[in-house]
A and B are shown apart, each in its own frame.
Chain A
């Protein structure tokens, strides 16, 4: 009987007992990320569909600055490391160190966004706007949606950072940090695909070139 009582007791983690034995919030986050895969799948498909279809320039080879975008990629990868270090710290009850890593992740995210703003600005100066050609439209929509996701992630990170000062982020609420971390890493894996498909795979100049 003792073992039965043990089996139906609430799980020892920071979530209420569920029929799956898994925290519903984490399951919901994975479901959300699965649905977000479809969103980015559609946007990447659209970009690939219109590759090399622009009849007027600027073309990708005219505007892309691979060394600059490579640095942005390193920054986003580094932010994934700081995110897991923040999670590892809060899981062992080290709120102070977790706070530092959360802030570092947010700052790296902001650096990435700053790089994207700089990139967009220089592209516009070179004549590539949302309406210039199909490359401009598909490029700005895809990378703009990704940038919006990064911006939302930065807001969530700064919220966690602020809440930690109010004592609301503790070892018992590590799940909250883990959920934000899952979202952040998803943003990172989407960028891994975008960096390869959009920036590194060469595109033939459009038919109008």
Chain B
């Protein structure tokens, strides 16, 4: 009986009132500075002639990093239950699948 509580679902722990796991303001500011720097880099590579050949993959990489930072830190998916992440990844996978099906159907890649 003593260890019955192990099988029970764990209540989610929130920051502040209940001993939080979410990052503090300093870490949020650090992430925001990184996001701002990446955005500045995005705009810079847009204007730099030397990047013309690899502009699209570089921009997609920057965009992916920014997207991931916001989702993991600001939306707390790095710290919260993985159930939320599964829900979101499900929607994201659906959107990417939709994107690929539309573009493949209309042969956008071949043109």
Chain A residues engaging chain B, CB cutoff 8 angstroms: 1, 3-4, 6-8, 11-15, 17, 19-23, 26-27, 30-31, 33-38, 40-42, 44-46, 48-49, 66-67, 70, 73-74, 77-78, 80-81, 83-85, 87-88, 90-93, 171-172, 174-175, 178, 181-182, 185-186, 188-189, 192-193, 195-196, 200-202
**B92–A34 touching, CB < 8 Å:** yes
Among residues of A, the one whose C-beta sits closest to the C-beta of B11 is: A11
| Cα-based distance from A20 to B46 in the complex (angstroms) | 46
**A185–B108 touching, CB < 8 Å:** no
Q: How many A-B contacts are there with CB distance less than 8 Å?
A: 188
**A4–B28 touching, CB < 8 Å:** no
Q: How far is the CB of B79 from chain A (nearest CB, A)?
A: 12
Given contact pairs A41-B95, A84-B28, A34 touches B88 in the complex (Cβ within 8 A)? yes
Tally of B interface residues using CB under 8 Å: 61
Among residues of B, the one whose C-beta sits closest to the C-beta of A26 is: B84
Interface residues of B in 9-46 (CB under 8 A from A): 9-18, 20, 22, 24-25, 28-29, 31-32, 35-36, 39, 42-43, 46
Q: Is B54 an interface residue (CB 8 A)?
A: no
Q: Which residues of A contact B106 (CB under 8 A)?
A: 49
Given contact pairs A3-B3, A27-B87, A66-B46, A45 touches B11 in the complex (Cβ within 8 A)? no
Q: Which residues of B contact A186 (CB under 8 A)?
A: 75
Q: Which 8 A-B pairs have the closest CB atoms?
A: A34-B91, A91-B16, A41-B95, A21-B9, A11-B11, A7-B5, A37-B91, A7-B8
Q: Which residues of A contact B13 (CB under 8 A)?
A: 12-13
**A88–B9 touching, CB < 8 Å:** no
Chain B residues engaging chain A, CB cutoff 8 angstroms: 1-5, 7-18, 20, 22, 24-25, 28-29, 31-32, 35-36, 39, 42-43, 46, 55-56, 59-60, 62-63, 66-67, 70-71, 73-75, 81, 83-84, 87-88, 90-92, 94-96, 98-99, 102-103, 106, 108
| Cα-based distance from A14 to B17 in the complex (angstroms) | 9
**A38–B94 touching, CB < 8 Å:** yes
**B71–A3 touching, CB < 8 Å:** no
Q: How far is the CB of B59 from chain A (nearest CB, A)?
A: 5
Q: Which residues of B contact A172 (CB under 8 A)?
A: 17
Q: Which residues of B contact A21 (CB under 8 A)?
A: 8-12, 81
**A12–B11 touching, CB < 8 Å:** yes
Q: Which residues of B contact A44 (CB under 8 A)?
A: 99
**B17–A174 touching, CB < 8 Å:** yes
**B20–A33 touching, CB < 8 Å:** no
**B56–A70 touching, CB < 8 Å:** no
Given contact pairs A45-B99, A182-B75, A38 touches B14 in the complex (Cβ within 8 A)? no
Q: Which residues of B contact A178 (CB under 8 A)?
A: 14
| Cα-based distance from A11 to B5 in the complex (angstroms) | 13
Q: Which residues of B contact A91 (CB under 8 A)?
A: 14-17, 20, 22
